[in-house]
Amino acid sequence: MNEPRWPVADLDPVRRLRIMAASIPGATYAEEVFARSVHEVWAVAGDLEAEFPMLLGDVRTMRIARADGERLEVVAVGRLGQRARFDVVIRPGWCWMQSRFLHGGMAAAPEGDGTRVAFLGALRIPGMRLADPILRTLPLGGRVLRRLEARLQARAAG
């Protein structure tokens, strides 16, 4: 008896993050193409302890509390001292973070001679569907990507 063949959709990390952003109410999302390799981009975007706090204006520190392969537990401390524990999945070109109140993600994939980079941020609280049209217009994602580009330029110059 022949087994049915299910369709397979290979999605690069950016496309996967774009789909997640479309399905999460109130998500802020941005993507851009940088004239840099995936390796260069991910050296900054994937460095959760040293670089990631520099990308997010409201995060003072991030510390990896536990690691098991690509799964991490990260403790973030905000500028006002607030703390959050995140469950993280990180691999080259992909980072997904979830705390009790937040979703966050970054992704990178080759595009031509450069790299397409994406950022997603969303609150995990009741009522987000009602606020969705307003929250999707906020420029948070674009700010994070501009800070990422600035960090890449600083590394290249230094």
Structure-token match 């990180």, residue found: 90
- Helix (H) or strand (E) holding 121, with range, is strand 114-123
3-state secondary structure 16-38: HHHHHHHHCCCCEEEEEEECCCH
pLDDT tens, residue by residue, 85-116 = 999 999 999 999 999 988 999 999 999 999 99
Which of the listed ranges 78-82, 85-89, 135-139, 151-155 does the model predict with the highest average pLDDT?
85-89
Cα torsion angle, 151, 103, 24, 38, sign = positive
How many of the other CB atoms lie within 10 Å of CB of 31?
A: 21
Residue 32: is its pLDDT beyond 80? yes
pTM: 0.84
Q: Which tokens belong to 83? A: 């703390």
- How many helices (H) and strands (E) the chain has is answered by 5, 7
Contacts of 16 (CB under 8 A, 6+ apart): 94, 107
Contact 131, 26 (CB under 8 A): yes
Q: Of 2-11, 78-87, 102-111, 140-149, which gets the smallest average pLDDT?
A: 2-11
Give the integer Cα–Cα distance in Å for 6 and 13.
21
